[in-house]
Amino acid sequence: MEGYDNPINWHTLTSEEALKRLNSKPEGLTPLQVKQALASYGKNQLPVTKFNGIVRLFLRQFTEIMTVILLAAVAISAALGEFTDALIIFTILILNAVLSTYQERKAQQALLALRQLATPQVKVKRDNSVVVISTQALVPGDIVLLEQGNIVPADVRLLTVQGLQIDESALTGESMAATKQADALDSPTLALGDKGNLAFKSSVVTLGKASGVVFATGINTEIGRIANLLDQEKQAKTPLQVRLSSFSKYLVLAILCVCMIVLLAGLLQGHPLMTMILTALSLAVAAVPEALPAVITISLALGASKMLKQQALIKNLPAVETLGAVTFICTDKTGTLTENKMLAKHIFDGSDDITKLSDTHYLLAVGMAVSNDVELRNKKATGEPTEVALFNMAALYGFDKKQLLDKFPLVSTIPFDGTRKKMTTIHRCDTGFIAFIKGAPEEVVTSCSTGEYGSEKTDFCAKSILDKVEDLSSKGDRVLALAMRKFDSLPDSNEPNSAESELTFLGLVAISDPIRSEVPKAVQQCIGAGITPVMITGDHQGTAIAIARELQLGKGEIIALNGDELDALSDEDFLNQVVKINVYTRVTPEQKLRIVNALQQQGHFVAMTGDGVNDAPALQHANIGIAMGQKGTDVARGAADMILLNDDFSSIVKAVAAGRRIYDNIRKFIKYTMTSNSGEIWTLLMAPTLGMPIPLLPIHILWINLVTDGLPGLAFSAEPAEKGAMKKAPRKQQESIFANGMWQHILWVGVLIGALCLGTLKWALLQDLVYWQTMVFTVLVFAQLFHSLAVRSDIESLFTQGIFTNPFLIIAIAIGAFLQLVLIYTPIFNELFRTQPLPFSDLGLCVAIASIVFIAVETEKYLIRKKFIYSLSKNDT
């Protein structure tokens, strides 16, 4: 592939010269050539943010401010000869770092898997066969096939062009799409936007088709050179992370005050300065959830990985968090609510209903057979579903596309777009040229001036045909109109109006698309969860309303609005009506954006599906943009937060349910951790204030932070969804993470834990027990373990929820309890952690005292349930 690395004016070369330079040919590269090119030029990808290696991840754990303070404390302890304390604190810090490193490494692996799944694909010709490959596998010399909606995967010298237009605004700043051609250009010094026979990586095909040969990949492309000059953007924090980081800053200030109080109180009681400094520092580390934002990111990343099982690929991690707040799901109909397996079942020729195609309707049959992009692969028709339906019906009655194309060779194509709502193919025929047009009936029929009903031409009546369209659509069928026009000379395919006016009407075809079997249940789940499903479709209103009624959108009360009616409404009028409308028909992508804006202005959280190029603005503007994985364009997938791999509406509902579960589990983790920290603070703050000795040593606090916070806290990520999670209203968009009584729970349960620890301390001192500190330490550990069991649900009792429904939490609690017993009853740990063996009676007393936390929280939940049930019954009456 000589010349690839040298500056070549590719636009001045002819197609043959470009292929020769790249050692390629129209049939594509051979497997050996591809292998050699990959070895020479590498993958076709721009630089991406690299993940830190495991050593760097480990070392990064020691950069947190609290960890740095503790390391300083280790150094001071060692300098003062307290080597045992220094060693224990350092060992616990190492264990914490290992655990955090493992968590982040798992998150990296999950994100890497998601990144690989999100890689776009492209059609290429290799070894004279058309194959679909990852864009990263492209090499110079590859022959790529482009069509409307594709993102250009590399820098390409165009070889063949059919009405091609490309949006190059990202490179040139020119808002108008550039019209492309395949001929060589003369001037070697053209500006980028004037190189009309080149297509550049990351630009967007907005119209037409083309083939081309790749001459630059990856960093060697135009966009790659620009990207190489830019710093990689830092990964944005999720809204949840931002709120928690802000909370942590305020908490740090509060804890510093508490630490100063503990330090001064301990010094006044005569405790050694070093002991009190270490106690204050350890308390700060235990109380501040400095690693919480990182834990949240890990939870979101692992949650996104789990969502893949529900056929939902999460591209942006904040989408996991925000899914639980969705109040409106605006969804396409075809392929999302329905199977997208369309069958042509009814034909109307303008005067009569016909049951089968014959030579009497020859041109109608020809149009159905040849005016499409359908291809036969393994004897199966593949392509756009409505085109496949027409193709299959024509083939059923003996009208073979391949044979008919011999008689009517394809000359050019005018692709479908959302504005014209038509698609046209132009063919050579005996008398010159003939154009076959198909599309939305109101667009095609109104462009007709004559009709060919069977073998006769009669006066054309558009109104009667549109009345028939209304009748067919009211039964839930999708209706297409077909027409034709003959020409003496070839019309300009770049000017659609020249080929799509003064048409001769050929017929209507009614096509049915069955509802997906799982969708009705999913729609009702949405409604039960306080989420309003809205159908937005380019289809006819009668078709959409029939489907909506069958699905019981709006609980059976269907309020529909078509695109023309939407345009006629002022912004104020539409804003007042938008929450009542559950079906939109014949809407343009621009109108989709208007719908999203209106719902958001009413305070709603909107999920929007889309598959086309022009859907990208609505997908980006929606709170959650959802692209179709099967029928969606590259542009739509690029703009979306989530990709439905199976294009199925029920997968959206499953993803919302998973999002709610993940958010609930994050709240449980925060509730548990902050309550534990609150208990430790109250214990250490109130003891010296009440004239009692410092109840815990620094190593005890650090141990609690590692065992009772770390192990059960991680297990909360595996907590199953609570019963009725999809029967609750969505959480409010601006709702605090500490809403719904969480901060009150953190406060009162923290006070309870502190009181139990101080009560144990006072009792042990009155009994002159030398192991009083071990008892307080044990009560605090077991109180937090009991608390982790109780907070698995905000309302439901553990006994009805099921103790073993989260085996990971049970295992974590068992490990924590076992390790605590090792510290109490093993001589070497007695010496290291300043613990003493407890008589079994006193151990039982400690566990019994700690269990009061479990009883208290279960009582709290019982009272909440009673109040909740009472409010429900009151509302019912």
Q: Which residues share a beta bridge with 422?
A: 439
The one-letter amino acid code at 793 reads: S
Looking at residue 340, what is its pLDDT? 72
Residue range 587-615: average pLDDT? 85
Say which residues have a Cβ less than 8 Å from residue 778's Cβ, sequence separation at least 6.
Answer: 820, 824, 838, 843, 846, 847, 850
What is the Cα–Cα distance from 526 to 642, expressed in whole angstroms? 18
Cα–Cα distance for residue pair 17/247, rounded to 1 Å: 64
Angstrom distance (rounded) from CA 816 to CA 485: 80
Q: Evaluate if residue 52 carries a pLDDT over 70.
A: no
The 10 Å Cβ neighbour count of residue 876 is 6
Residue 329: the pLDDT is 93
Q: Tell me: the pLDDT tens digits for 109-119?
A: 655 565 555 56
Coil, helix or strand for 647? coil
pLDDT at 232: 39
pLDDT of residue 790: 93
H helix or E strand, kind and range, residue 529: none
Local structure of 708: helix, strand or coil: helix
Within 13 Å of residue 805, how many CA atoms lie on the same side as its CB?
A: 16
Angstrom distance (rounded) from CA 7 to CA 665: 56
HEC sequence for 587-618: CCHHHHHHHHHHHHHCCCCEEEEECCHHHHHH
Mean pLDDT for 166-179 is: 70
pLDDT in tens, 483-492: 999 999 998 8
Alpha-helix runs per DSSP H in 690-741: 698-704, 711-715
Q: What's the residue count for the chain?
A: 877
Confidence band of 482 (pLDDT split at 50, 70, 90): very high
Contact, 390 vs 399, CB < 8 A? Answer: no
More confident residue, 430 or 79: 430
Q: Which positions are catalytic?
A: 332
What is the reported pLDDT for 47? 64
Q: Among 151-155, 278-282, 368-372, whose mean pLDDT is lowest?
A: 278-282
Please give the Cα distance from 484 to 433 (Å, whole number).
11
Instruction: Give burial (CB, 10 Å; 0-12/13-18/19+) of 524.
Output: middle
Is the confidence at residue 242, as pLDDT, over 70? Answer: no
> Element (H or E) spanning 619, and its range?
helix 616-621
pLDDT score of 108 more than 70 = no
Within 8 A by CB and 6+ apart from 1, the residues are 21, 22, 23, 24, 37, 40, 140, 141
How many of the other CB atoms lie within 10 Å of CB of 462? 16
Q: Average pLDDT in the 601-615 region? A: 82
Distance in Å from the first CA to the final CA of the chain? 81
Rounded mean pLDDT of 413-425?
Answer: 83
Return mean pLDDT, the chain: 82
pLDDT of 3: 39
CB–CB of 610/626 below 8 Å?
A: yes
At 761, the pLDDT band (50, 70, 90 cuts) reads very high
**Among the listed residues 689, 682, 675, 680, the one whose alpha carbon sits nearest the alpha carbon of residue 261:** 689
> Closest Cα to residue 627, out of 610, 615, 612, 613?
610
Please state the φ and ψ torsions of residue 69, each to the nearest 5 degrees.
Answer: -60, -45
pLDDT for 614:
62
- Measured CA to CA, the distance from residue 794 to residue 735 in angstroms comes to 17
Cβ 65 vs Cβ 260: under 8 Å: no
Range 335-362 average pLDDT = 84
Instruction: Report the pLDDT value the prediction gives residue 877, as an integer from 0 to 100.
Output: 38
Q: Which of 711, 684, 698, 681 is nearest to 812 (CA)?
A: 711
Sheet harboring 624-628: ordered strands across?
A: 312-314, 642-644, 624-628, 606-610, 328-331, 532-537, 583-585, 560-562
pLDDT of residue 418: 67
pLDDT digits (tens, 9 = 90+) for 389-410: 899 999 999 999 999 999 999 9
| The dihedral formed by the CA atoms of 783, 789, 794 and 800, expressed in degrees to the nearest 10 | -130
The pLDDT of 134-156, averaged and rounded, is 91
Q: By C-alpha distance, which of 684, 790, 663, 703 is closest to 96?
A: 703
Q: What is the CA radius of gyration of the chain?
A: 34
| Mean pLDDT within 331-338 | 83
Contact 801/792 with Cβ under 8 angstroms? yes
Q: Which residue has the higher pLDDT, 591 or 845?
A: 845
Domains along the chain with CATH numbers: 312-338+516-647 (3.40.50.1000), 348-409+421-488 (3.40.1110.10), 659-876 (1.20.1110.10)
pLDDT of residue 873: 45
Percent of the chain exceeding pLDDT 70 equals 83
Q: What whole-number distance in Å separates Cα of residue 516 and Cα of residue 448?
A: 36
770 neighbors 658 (Cβ within 8 angstroms): no
Contact 435, 484 (CB under 8 A): yes
Q: At what angle do helices 840-876 and 742-766 cross, to 10 degrees?
A: 150
- For the entire predicted model, the pTM comes to 0.67
Residue 728 DSSP label: S
User: 302-336 as b/e, with b when 16 or more CB fall inside 10 Å?
Assistant: bbbbbbeebbbbbbbbbbbbbbbbbbbbbbbbbbb
Answer for the pair 262, 684: CB distance below 8 angstroms, yes or no: yes
> Alpha helices, DSSP H only, in 269-314?
273-287, 292-307
C-alpha 125: how far from chain center: 32
Long-range contacts of 187-192 (CB under 8 A, 24+ apart): 187/12, 188/9, 188/12, 190/11, 192/168, 192/222
For 85, what's the count of Cα atoms within 13 Å in the CB-facing half-sphere?
Answer: 25
Q: Partners of 344 in the beta sheet? A: 511
**What is the full DSSP assignment across 340-387?**
---EEEEEE-SSSEESS--GGGHHHHHHHHHSS--EEETTEEES-HHH
